[in-house]
Amino acid sequence: MAPAVRELELDLDAFEGPFDLLLTLVLKEELALAEVDAVGIILAFLDRLAERGVDLESCGEFLVLISALLELKARALFPEADVELSELDADEAAEELARRLEEYRRIKEGAAWLSERLATGGDRFFRLGPAPFSPRPAVRLAPQDPERLAGAMRALAAEPPAVSLAHMELRFPPVSQFLARFRAVLRRRSRFDFAAEVGELSRVEQAVAFLALLELYKSGEVMISQAAPFTPIRISRAEGERGDRWIARSA
């Protein structure tokens, strides 16, 4: 027990003397816990701290001891609060206090041992890998075939094949192809539907065919009509001036 706690002088109604003597009397059941003034003990310790300054070790030890005393005193004063606590008689209370004091002593000794180990070995570091000057094992290679090694070198030195990007190209048919196609259709008949003529073609080919249709209209060779949006586009041969004959009706 720390000197600041052991030598703490108490002046209580039921006891007068050092704190360690009070604990001894309580453990020997020569002093009832109900007669111990816990508040007086705490006030006496606070006065000692005010005189000599705060000592963390003494404060920790005092808190453990006074907490144990308060718990045992509460169990004795209110035995009906808990079924297990109600079965705790005076002998068991004394044994419980002694057990906790002994446990606290063991923990304190363990903490002191750890502190000593830290002080003596805190500046030591252990290497996890091999020692820097240890002999390195010789690396042995398996038997190799010179011909296979030469073949591997020749394969590495060969030029890689060119990467083909043909599958990424968008191939557009020429506009002239559809110009000739539409002109041939208009020579056979006077009008036709654009969707019926290019319905079997791909989207790219349909776009190029529409560009060809615009070229024919620009040159005045066809007339375009559509009754409403998204309805069939009808193309017919132009007769006379385009401005007089082209009809475009759209809702």
Per-residue pLDDT tens over the stretch 118-139: 888 777 766 666 666 767 778 7
3-state secondary structure of 114: helix
Q: CA dist 188 to 113, 124, 137, 182, 184, Å?
A: 111, 103, 92, 10, 7
For residue 241, what pLDDT band results from cuts at 50, 70 and 90?
very low
End-to-end CA distance of the chain: 103
What is the CA 58 to chain-centroid distance, rounded?
43
pLDDT over 70 at 35, yes or no = yes
**Model pTM?**
0.32
Task: List the 222-225 sheet strands across, edge first.
Answer: 191-193, 234-237, 222-225
Give the count of alpha carbons within 13 A of 160, CB side only. 4
Higher pLDDT, 223 or 26: 223
- What mean pLDDT, rounded, does the chain reach? 77
Q: What is the residue extent of each domain of the chain? A: 3-119, 171-245
Could you say which of 3.40.30.10, 1.10.238.10, 3.20.20.70, 1.10.10.580 is the CATH number of the domain covering 171-245? Answer: 1.10.10.580
Query: What pLDDT was estimated at residue 93?
Result: 66
What average pLDDT does the segment 6-29 reach?
Answer: 77
| Percent of the chain whose predicted confidence (pLDDT) is above 70 | 78
User: Over the stretch 157-176, which tens digit does the pLDDT of each residue have?
Assistant: 888 888 877 766 667 788 88
